[in-house]
Structure 1
Amino acid sequence: MNKRHCLKRSFILSACVSALFASFTPSSETSNDKLQHLSAEQDNQDLDLKKLSQAFGHFIGRNLKSPGISFDVEGVIAGIRDGYQGKPAPMSDQEYESAMNKLQEKAYAALAKENMAAAVVFLNKNSREKNVKEIEPGKLQYMILSEGRGDEVQAHASPLIHYTGKYIDGTVFGSSEEVGGPITIPLDQTIPGFSKGLVGMKEGEKRRLFVHPELGYGMLGNLPPNALLIFDVEVVKASNPDSNKDATTQEDDTDDDYDDEDDFYNQ
């Protein structure tokens, strides 16, 4: 199953469903002694089940929100009530799966279209900002945050860098700090906007890149479809080829914990 399919299947209610199961399942770190201690404490306390039930419903409700989808809240409540009472479902599991997949596809496409439009507007406006330069008109922009004085990053190199990746709203989706950075990035194995944006940077230079979806992940990867990406990058070393093997090993070791990092190497 490819990454795009995985993303779409988890597009709706994934956080809600996962958290629902988690709320009923003790963590692996919970010992029997802790459980016994908690049980003893609960025996001495009166739980407000009505309040807890409302809080549980509130938890479900706030996790129903998904981009491009508006659920009938009253219908959801009725479905919960009917399911709890053992009444027949309004459609079979197979029908539900098929309908939900179609809804997810529609919402995913709508979000992709919305994100692409937002990226075009942002880059058009950003091109008129002071100190913003364009590498590819309307597709790749940058601004220098701090000048460098060392060697320049060359095409096809593997520079050692610090970086932080953000969405258009400022939300951070990844950084070298999360993997114990700085990290070595083989430019031939990363997204075009990132590799082209680094070429010419000097050691010690800090640069902010603005990457159009077509030079980013587009509809692929673990990120929202057609997301405009903003990277703050600092070049520590213009070329660090000797660490490529170590970087690959580190990537394998952290694969389960940091999937977004994989996208740098799998385009």
Structure 2
Amino acid sequence: MKKMIFSVLLLLPICIYYVLSSPKPNNANPQIASVLNEQEVHQISLGLANIFWKQLAQYSPFYDFEEVLENLKDLESGKKKPFPKKESQEQMLSLIDKISTYQNRLNLKASEDYLEKVAKQGNIVEVIPHKLYYELLSKGQPLLSDSNHFQIHLIESKLCDGEEVIMQNTRLSNSPITLDLSDTILGFAKAASGMATGERRKIYIHPELSYGKHGRHGFQQLIICDVERL
């Protein structure tokens, strides 16, 4: 969520700042204003509405639509002056940080509740209490090598609103991944260690263990990996 919001944040203030700080149609040179015909003005207006709406939708339900429209009218009429870009970004960042912090707390609680249910299943192997578990989906052949460098098929999901949402599925695309466990997130490396060729496990990873060489993902979401060693 935070990554998505921050990517939106990079575009929204820039779009609004440049559009609102540009010369207004009613103040523009008539010769320039007449370059577009009525239909083309309609197209530009519709395009801008779609751009703004797509950005606004990312912030739902954290804004008042009527207030947004009122502020746009005040900016267009000159009743209000647009904030400097830096000030807009700083203001938005502080609010988004508050939203993200709260969302992360909800995600963490959902992750821990889900893991608690998983731990009670009879076919679950506990790797780290309350943090890391896996379910053996199918056995493989005796391991000929203890190498941590191998190919896998992976269905990676994240817990969103209590449901498993698939983020990646190499089975569907028939594109196995070659990996080294030392390059994977800590929870995956521990739970996938010692897998035999052909073995398949479903791994449940607490957010505290979902980090590696590139740092934490920061969203406090449970990661679920259906992995088969090839």
- Scaled by the length of structure 1, the TM-score of the pair is 0.62
Residue of structure 1 in register with 2:220 after alignment: 226
Is 2:2–2:100's contact at 8 Å kept on the other side of the alignment?
yes
Count of aligned pairs: 204
Q: Which runs of 5+ in 1 are unaligned?
A: 1-6, 22-45, 237-267
Is 1:132–1:141's contact at 8 Å kept on the other side of the alignment?
yes
Residue of structure 1 in register with 2:206 after alignment: 212
Is 1:149–1:205's contact at 8 Å kept on the other side of the alignment?
yes
Identity %: 27
Please point out which of 89, 103, 107 is paired with 1:97.
89
Alpha carbons of 1:163 and 1:13: their partners in 2 closer, same or farther (altered >3 Å)? closer
Please point out which of 128, 146, 150 is paired with 1:159.
150
Is 2:186–2:211's contact at 8 Å kept on the other side of the alignment?
no
Task: Let me know the Cα RMSD of the aligned residues.
Answer: 3.8
53-62 vs 81-90, which moves further: 53-62
Shift of 1:145: 1.6
Alpha carbons of 1:223 and 1:67: their partners in 2 closer, same or farther (altered >3 Å)? farther
- Scaled by the length of structure 2, the TM-score of the pair is 0.70
Q: Which amino acid aligns with 1:125?
A: K
1:71 aligned to 2:63? yes
Residue of structure 1 in register with 2:122 after alignment: 130
Alignment of 1:147-226 (within 5 A): 147-151=139-143, 154=146, 157-168=148-159, 169-176=163-170, 181-217=175-211, 223=217, 225-226=219-220
Alpha carbons of 1:171 and 1:52: their partners in 2 closer, same or farther (altered >3 Å)? farther
Deviations 1:173-229 (A, max 9, x none): 2344698731211111211111111112211111110000111039x7685611110
Q: Which amino acid aligns with 1:136?
A: I
Is 1:165–1:172's contact at 8 Å kept on the other side of the alignment?
yes
Alpha carbons of 1:70 and 1:134: their partners in 2 closer, same or farther (altered >3 Å)? same
- More strand by proportion, 1 or 2? 2
Partner-residue secondary structure (3-state), 2:143:
coil
Alpha carbons of 1:99 and 1:15: their partners in 2 closer, same or farther (altered >3 Å)? closer
Residue of structure 1 in register with 2:80 after alignment: 88
